[in-house]
Chains A and B, each alone.
Chain A
Amino acid sequence: MKRKLTVMALVFAMLLAPVLSACNNGGGGKESGSKSNSAGKDGKQEITEFTAFLAVPGSEVNDDNEVKQIIAEKTGYKIKETWLTGQTETEAIGTMIAGDEYPDIIDGGVATKNLYEAGALVPLDDYIEKYPNIKNFLNEEQWDSLRQDDGKIYWIQQFGNIKGEDKTTTQTMGAFWIQARVLEWADYPEIVTLDQYFQLLEDYNKANPTMEDGTKNIPYTILCEGTKFFCLTGAPLELAGYPNEGSVYVDEETLKAVDYNTTDMTKRYYKKLNDGYKSGLVDPESFTQTYDEYIAKLSSGRVLGMHDQGWNFSNSVNAALTQAGLDKQGCDYIPIGLVFDEDIHNRWFTRQYTINTASGIGITKDCKDPDGVMKFMNDLLDQEIHDLRFWGVKGVDYDVNEKGEYFRTKEQRFESTNTSYRATHLCPYSWMPQYEGTSDDGINANKPSDQPGEFYDGLNDDIKRAFDAYGAKTYIDLLGVNEPAGPWYPLWTYSNAITTSTPGGIAFTKMDEVFHEYMPKVCIADDFEAMWDEFLKTYEECNPQDFLDEIQAILDKRIEDHKQYEN
């Protein structure tokens, strides 16, 4: 009997073990800011590691990453970053809220406001006052624009902050992109309109249907997956000469938000895609491919052109093309500021003085040491650390000439595009607060890609030839620089934060569903006109006016708020 009991007890212990250990894990996961004596050998310094979740796709760096370790030794902190995979940001954040467990640091993307509404974030006001680098990171108006309805600041927008002279060289915003080989083949023609662009793609593809190794070219592809839908729907706005405001444009005279999705200009754009689809110019997989498949396609060099935001593809794709030596074939992408008609002025690159208030880096209530996080962020903005993040280690990743200018050799540049080197050595903490523009030394750019000499020398030859042909020194020169029309720009930074708790938000979500279904349908429809009419009808059923009213209110408030900072 005794023995039987013991056996039984053992069986239960085994049955229960997974359950119990699961509970333990749950508890363990909550441990945050765990101190570990990871300085190890010399044991001098305690290094605190924070966890961070960033609701964007990104590449994880290794735990023993060298620059990460250097920064940790200098500051006493490091961050374990986790990125979004396979979900949308709202899904990932929504799940996190439902589970009520958070990492120490979080950027919820468009769902950041949801985190605030769920009470998951801690107010940062006191810490901001305490740390000068953070305090100076944004100006009064920008800080105020981040205040929530209780008057407190819960997140810091980490991007778009230009220190000193603006040295922007790359187009991180939207554009129609085209491979350098296409331009070279046509002897660098002046391309202004959408029609010319598609004509060029067609001509080139007729003359060169394959790449050097025999792979078939794809003249034009579109990414439509989930939240990356803007690759399809964003273009008509800018083709018509408006800067990118998101789902609406602002009539600059009446200051009214206008829905462009049903206008003739939008129809004209889709008609073009529909024609392209029928003639085989538009990749038939456009409407079904996933983000990963899209990036893989671009990285293979097969795709001649697409419309996309620079930030959405260029980092990974440019590096992959360079590593595969496809720049020799001219597969690098050049942005073009297309418009519908030649008399329209393109505003693809419009300077942005307001920050994206809808998202940013916040600290969660699960964080044991918010002060430590803020101290670390303060340190990350320190010029020395900032250089480590974006330039790397002096003498290893870059050198300095007698004038104090940073530069990289060919090998160093090549290494910086190597995925495994990036994982083991470089650690930009790319989603933590950072500066663009000029370094404190007044000579160098805060990021290598913005360093004028370095930037140009670092370009692949196919891009250099194109730049020379068009008399450009930077990507931006190709597009031209525009000033924003008003203090609301870009309006999407406000509209992105709308949720279904309001009628406008419900309308917006429904509109979004209709877009996801009908825009692809319109593109592949045999009878374009009929499908367009069906789209209009279905779209009307979503009550888009509710959404517009809400946007209008936001626009009015934004203009009103700005008045107090004028002059």
Chain B
Amino acid sequence: MAIAKAEKPLPKKKKITAKTLKSQRALLIAAAIFVIYGIVFYYVPLVGWLMAFQDYSPRLGFLGSEFIGIDKFKFLFSDKTFLRVIRNTLAMGVLNLVTSTFMAILFAILLNEVRNTRAKKVVQTVSYLPHFLSWIIVTGILHDVLASGGIVNELLLKFGWVDKPVNFFAKPEWFWGLVAFSNVWKETGWNAIIYLAAITSIDPSLYEAAAIDGAGRWQRIKNVTLPGIRPTIMILLLLSIGNVLNAGFEVQYLLGNGLVQSVSQTIDIYVLRWGISQNDYSLGTAAGLFKSFVSIVLIVIVNQLARHYGEERLY
């Protein structure tokens, strides 16, 4: 679609009169409530960021604590562990993003091709149920399934592929994969819902036209379905880019152990260990602040890229 360059003069702004205000009273009140909600719950807490520049002590409180400039940041970036933790977070975040997006799209398309409505519904319902399990349960299942006496090792032994049980949790090189796998297992069905919805909104006549032109199933997927959900994919990708650094806390915390800690610890776990556990709330805040900062930068960059390539974007 070629949109004419938006040089045209904007339509004249309507004057806000007392009358319109009055007639839209209900809407205004509705909006105001959410604005207040946003300010109270999203913006006021940001004042706490100041803690990152203080030597915060809970006893002296927010007002009484001494300001120490950027000492905490200096400590963070001279700490090898923190640098490693950033790497882990980014790696797992990207891996999760890629695998979960890919699997969700794949699953949605496959499901869409199922002709039997009943089977489709059942599969869809079953597949998104794991989303409602908490991570503690999912990791519990993983621990059981992958234990040395668990089903996976039993099978491996039975088929003679290994001669002694594999300890899946002791291998640092497998940890990221394990996390990505559990994410996919838990969230694929749920993430696919939105793509399925996008697919159903594609005009059926497009499929018909393609079929008449002799396009097979594969070609219809490639030329109709995928382009049809492309804007949805872009928007969802953009939204999740901001979440890359929220690569997770529970799953790494619960699956991790000493052997794999060099690859398992994320920024959130670092905050827990060095900030909350050690009573150094300033350090924790500094790490959190850094995380937010990187997230914002990532979103802005990706949004600019999207704008540049003429894709859907956030703003």
A interface vs B, CB < 8 Å?
Answer: 4-5, 8, 12, 16, 19, 86, 88, 90-91, 94-95, 97-98, 100, 111, 114, 117-120, 224-225, 229, 280, 284-285, 287-288, 290, 293, 499-501, 505, 509-510, 513, 515-517, 519-521, 524, 541
Contact = CB atoms under 8 A, between A and B. Distances in A.
B202 interface: no
List the 10 closest A-B pairs by CB distance, nearest first: A94-B276, A119-B59, A516-B258, A90-B277, A118-B58, A288-B169, A500-B278, A114-B279, A520-B259, A288-B257
B176 interface: no
A488 to B, nearest CB: 25
17 contacts: A16-B33, A86-B136, A88-B277, A94-B279, A98-B276, A98-B281, A100-B58, A111-B277, A284-B164, A287-B170, A288-B257, A500-B280, A513-B81, A513-B261, A517-B262, A520-B258, A520-B259
- The range of chain B's interface size is 20 to 34
A287 B258 contact: yes
A218 to B, nearest CB: 10
* Majority secondary structure of chain B interface residues (helix, strand, loop or mixed): helix
Contacts of B275: 94
B274 A500 contact: yes
Contacts of B58: 97-98, 100, 117-120
B299 to A, nearest CB: 27
Contacts of B280: 499-501
A102 to B, nearest CB: 11
Interface string B237-273: 0000000000000000000011101100000000011
B143 interface: yes
Nearest to B80: A541
A83 to B, nearest CB: 17
A101 to B, nearest CB: 12
A517 B165 contact: no
A548 to B, nearest CB: 19
A47 B281 CA distance: 38
A16 B127 CA distance: 32
A114 B280 CA distance: 10
B99 interface: no
Nearest to B257: A288
B165 A284 contact: yes
Nearest to B279: A114
A111 B37 CA distance: 36
Interface in B160-193: 164-165, 167, 169-170
A509 B274 contact: yes
A225 B257 CA distance: 7
A418 B18 CA distance: 75
Contacts of A521: 259
A5 B29 CA distance: 10
Nearest to B275: A94
Nearest to A229: B258
A429 to B, nearest CB: 27
Given A284-B148, A287-B170, A509-B274, A97 B279 contact: yes
A22 to B, nearest CB: 11
Nearest to B278: A500
A94 B277 contact: yes
Contacts of A100: 58
Contacts of B57: 117-118
